[in-house]
Structure 1
């Protein structure tokens, strides 16, 4: 990827155009493309899982977010009164600010705007603190993947490729944080299980192939 990391993903390329135009105006280098989840347990090649991904260099993540916020602020006074966020209570709006990675940038700006209208001003310093806290929370590994580990061991033991895929995913999968930093997605314990599952799967696959050769 030449140092480009996933910044945002969209259901379609059309939905991504406002962001791409904004970044182009400010000469922020961009790479785009279609991507599927790193691991599809169904192996069904479901087209609906494919997302249009906008990738940036990590050094441009903060700048891009600031550009989006500035662009959104210019739209706030003309926000449609029937937008669904106007039906949210204060706690629900504040939750959007606490977890901005789960929402698009316009909704985050609008949530802050609505709170301001209701006399609940959220200062820039508070926003930065919320982002830092969220970033620290996101660095934590995912919950223990006990079900996938058991399935991985079982599948790997019988020579199943599924077990190897599960093992590879548990051991090597990274997640990209909102600042572009990449960290291991799973705990050291689960990653160790993943490595053992991967080795067991390779051994099981080789054994299965040898048995087939001997039968022939």
Structure 2
């Protein structure tokens, strides 16, 4: 069997599995949107890289906007699913908070496409996220998890009272997000590579420590 024949056969096999087809398209589209933005991404490029036709992409996702929204939903779904698997309720509030912050830092560090997509969506004033009940519900669940964690800590006296769960989520996200979104500019301006394993380890430790100091009871 030639390479060309094998590729054709693989393509036919994938079309017989709609979920695998959609997964492949979303994976390629995630990279395309993250690299080029919503306006710069091209369905032609996505089709070429997946070896599926534009017609099939439109069949599954409607149009480019529909595909972009599915990419956003997929990114948020994956991060929230991994958070849910952390078993925070099985840890003490302090250890659960450290685990959550450390996970968020590691996730953002290893998922630059997610960071770029969030930045792109902010350029669009969150128009697409606002249309998605999927993303809205996912983030309600994330805030509920933080709220429960925080309330457990307050109840046992390890966390100080009076903090807001959404604001706490904001602060965790901000410290972990900036590490990726502004790493290139900081490294260039200050002539120091903040992306080395040593730098990232120090930054992660500092971020966890800052959040713990902020939340911990005196």
Where on the TM-score scale, by shorter chain, does this alignment land: which range?
0.3 to 0.5
Higher normalized helix content (fraction of residues): 2
Task: Normalising by structure 1, report the TM-score.
Answer: 0.33
Q: Which is higher, the Rg of structure 1 or of structure 2? A: 1
Higher normalized strand content (fraction of residues): 1
